[in-house]
Structure formats: C-alpha cells, structure tokens
Homo-oligomer: A and B are copies of this chain.
Amino acid sequence: MAIRDDRPHYLIAPDPGDERLTRAVTGQDQTGAAVETRVVEERPLTIFLNGQEIVTAMTIGDYPEYLALGFLKNQGMLQPGESVLRVDHDDDLETVVVRTDGATRYEEKLQKKTRTSGCAVGTVFGDMMEGLEGLTLPQAELRTSWLYALSATINRTPSLYLEAGAIHGTVLCKEDRPLVYMEDVGRHNAVDKIAGWMLSEGVEPADKILYTTGRLTSEMVIKTALMGIPVLASRSGFTAWGVEIAQQVNLTLIGRMRGQRFLCLAGEQRLLRDADPAHGDDEPAKQRRKGARDG
C-alpha cells in the first residue's frame, strides 16, 4: 500500500463562509415554527465576446472571469491561437467582457441552440458534436485507489452543498489529489469555471480526472472530452448518449460511485485495480444520501 497524505491539496476550494454566495431567509417548518436558513444565490451574468453579447448565465457569482472564459472555450468560440487580451468583470452591470485579438463573430452559431440535459441549463450553441470528430483522448492510468481517495476527500470537504444544498460540484483532480473544486447552481457552470481556470493557468489536461456530483449526460461527456481530460467520474448515473460518446472518444466513464462500488461504462482499459479497501468502506450516512436522484 502506498503511503498517502490525507490532507487535501486544493488550489481552489469552496468557500461556504463567503456571505455573497448564500442568503439568510426565514420561513416555517412543518410545525409552523419560524426557521432561519441559508439558501444559495442565483444571479444573472451576461457574457460578451469582444463587442458581442453571447449569453446570460444563471450562476452563484463566484469566479465570473473563469466562467466566461471557460464557457467561450467550451463552446468553441475561442479559437486555438486566438489570444485573450483582457477579461473585465463589472459587478454592478453583471457582465463579463472577454476581449481577444480575433474578430470572429458567431451569429450563425448563435442561431442554433440546443437545450442539453446538463443540470441547470447548459445551452449549447451550434453543433453539439463539433470538434469531436476524430478526437481520441490520450492513454492514461486510472487507479481504483485514486477514485476511492478522491471520493472520500471530496465528500468531506466543506462546501456550499453541505452548507445550503441545491448546488452542484465539479472537481479537477490529479491522481488521488483534488486540485480545483468549483460549485454552481448549474453543473455546466462549475465545469466551465474549471475550463476557464485551466485556460488561464495553462494547465495540461492529459493527466487529469474530472469528478462531478451530477449525471453523466451527453453535455458533460462532450465538455470533458473537448477539454482533453480522459476520465470523468461521478456518484450519479448515466444517459445512453453520454455512454455512446464516451466510448466513441475513448473517455473513461465511471458512474454510480458509492463506497467501494462503481460502474465503468467506457474506457475500461485505463483502469488499474489496486484498490485499498480502507478507502472504500461504507460511507457515513451524511455522504450516503448524496446525488441519488440526480444520478
């Protein structure tokens, strides 16, 4: 058994104490007693690319610059070789303007809208499958001990989910270490924020693992593949088209992770079964409840 350091190595972790991200509201419980609770914020953020308004996203509002960059990148609206000159967020206007040295306009792409199955409204512009033709993700190793360690660490990390519920999380990981943990009312926003961070920091995707609390839909699989990440794992379940695309691009798709159990429906050849049962034993009740309906 390898010696593990159990402290998380997050570069970015949720900040459940950030008062801008939740709001105190009062209501009544089943007995009529007054109850004060915290609920997550949900704010509009309008993304502009150079002079053009692209979309309004509903988001909790942290990391607007990463969200804008990652959204544009994942939509294929930033071309390889196109340089981002500036990203300006205006909190009052609820806008982010991404300025590049390109001048491409996307009217045609914008006219074709697909409502994907991603949680919290992933709008995809243009052809959803664009960029996937001929794409094959790089070979990589995926140890089952990493999966168990990641799951255990992420589930125990203080988060807005544990504080207020009604939110999705996505975590960029390397081996058994979670690196960047983003949360948002929309799961696609959490992924886009990770993509924006990777773009800003010039992070290599080939040795990474993406972990999500949400379902493994076509949208999630496509985003992960276009980001160049060869492994996508979740506590939740699959859709048929998500599985089909993962098989097509050779993405390792792991779902229904609960305690020691999981199901791999694509890219099994990356799996190395070195599992240490100590990291995969039964989960505490608090974790056990997570993600079932959404999966």
Q: Which residues of A contact B (CB under 8 A)?
A: 22-23, 25-32, 35, 37, 39-44, 55-58, 110-123, 144, 161, 164-166, 168, 185-186, 188, 213-219, 235-243, 256, 260-266, 268, 271, 273, 275, 280, 288-295
Note all chain B residues with C-beta closer than 8 A to A32. Answer: 271, 273
Per the bound structure, the CA–CA distance linking A57 and B121 in Å amounts to 11
Q: How far is the CB of A243 from chain B (nearest CB, A)?
A: 5
Note all chain B residues with C-beta closer than 8 A to A39. Answer: 237-240, 242-243, 265
Are A241 and B41 neighbours in the complex by a CB distance under 8 Å? yes
Are B294 and A291 neighbours in the complex by a CB distance under 8 Å? yes
Are A115 and B119 neighbours in the complex by a CB distance under 8 Å? no
Write 28 A-B pairs (CB below 8 A) sorted by A numbering.
A25-B238, A26-B265, A27-B265, A27-B266, A28-B263, A29-B264, A30-B262, A30-B273, A31-B273, A39-B237, A39-B240, A39-B243, A40-B238, A42-B218, A42-B242, A55-B115, A58-B115, A58-B218, A58-B219, A58-B241, A110-B113, A118-B121, A123-B123, A161-B293, A166-B295, A289-B292, A292-B293, A294-B294
A114 touches which one: B44, B111, B216, B219 (CB < 8 A)?
A: B44
Note all chain B residues with C-beta closer than 8 A to A290. Answer: 292-293
Note all chain B residues with C-beta closer than 8 A to A243. Answer: 25, 39
Told that A30-B260, A235-B293 touch, could you supply 7 new A-B pairs with CB distance under 8 A? A40-B239, A41-B239, A118-B120, A118-B121, A121-B219, A166-B295, A290-B293
> Which partner residue on chain B sits nearest A287 by CB separation?
B292
Per the bound structure, the CA–CA distance linking A68 and B294 in Å amounts to 24
Per the bound structure, the CA–CA distance linking A89 and B121 in Å amounts to 24
| With A29-B263, A122-B121: A23-B115 Cβ-Cβ less than 8 Å | no
Q: How far is the CB of A65 from chain B (nearest CB, A)?
A: 17
| With A293-B168, A294-B293: A239-B114 Cβ-Cβ less than 8 Å | no
Are B42 and A294 neighbours in the complex by a CB distance under 8 Å? no
Per the bound structure, the CA–CA distance linking A40 and B39 in Å amounts to 31
